[in-house]
Amino acid sequence: MLTVTTNKSTYAVGEAVQITLTLTNTTSSTQTYNFNTSQRYDIVVQKGGREVWRWSNGQFFLQVLGTLTLQPGESVTYTETWDQTNNNGNQVAAGTYTIVGSITSSNNPQQASTTITIQ
């Protein structure tokens, strides 16, 4: 199960947003996640259903196969910081934003979201 959390629910304009993705094996058996590149996750910030910022925008990932194996109850955590700029590097406006995190596994993709307010 994937969860997406932030260090706060409300931010001032321009304040850094710490985003944490936690993937936990909540089953009673070992779970394996296969990946077609070195990318393991992505984060998209949306406002009104439209993409504002994507963590992977402009990044390059190795074209290499990989796996992640989680035992029952085991978790892996990924943390990134969003500086409240859009994909063009401009400061976003105040408002409500949805942060969508995803695990980019080819055989077991996961997605979750949370909402923040910038004021």
| Per-residue pLDDT tens digits for 5-28 | 999 999 999 999 999 999 999 999
Q: Which of 91, 75, 96 is nearest to 20 (CA)?
A: 75
Considering its fold, how many domains does the chain have in total? Answer: 1
Average pLDDT over the chain, rounded to whole?
98
Tell me the residue range of the domain where 46 lies: 2-118
Average pLDDT (91-100) is 98
CATH of the domain at 17: 2.60.40.2360
pLDDT, tens digit, 9 for 90 and up, residues 44-77: 999 999 999 999 999 999 999 999 999 999 999 9
Q: Which residues are CB-contacts of 1 (< 8 A; sequence separation ≥ 6)?
A: 23, 24, 26, 110, 112
